[in-house]
Amino acid sequence: MEPGGRIILGVGSTVSALELLSADKIRAWGMKMISELFDEYQLTTIITPTISIKVPYLKNNVKYRGENNNQLVNEIMKYVFLSNFLGLPGYSVPIGFLPSQSNTSLLLPIGLQLIGNHWKDHEVIHV
């Protein structure tokens, strides 16, 4: 296992029951807030970029052994966090291509993310 992965597993094994319950309370509050937001503004979806930056350059050594770059992962996953944390249906839709940072002749996909309310997957798919 890659050393960074071991660190993450080690940190995760130190989570206490109180911390887990606190996370559940925050999740419940977030679910209620999002549900009220969808109801109040009669939303079908929240639309965001799929990722917040251009696709980063992947170094050759990373292709073989992996990489743990929490700062980069946090930046990339900025818009995905909401649906992951609250269990909302989210779909990524390709919308085009941008040139790679390392090779401008290589085009990499970009997309939009559609996030729906709980149990409203069918509405998001329709959009």
The 10s digit of each residue's pLDDT in 85-107 is 999 999 999 999 988 877 778 88
The 10s digit of each residue's pLDDT in 21-47 is 999 999 999 999 999 999 999 999 999
Mean pLDDT of the chain: 88
pLDDT of residue 119: 93
pLDDT for residue 4 is more than 80 = no
The CA-atom distances, in angstroms, between 42 and each of 35, 51, 52, 116, 125 are 10, 25, 26, 12, 17
- DSSP H stretches of helix in the chain: 3-12, 17-40, 60-65, 70-76, 81-86, 121-126
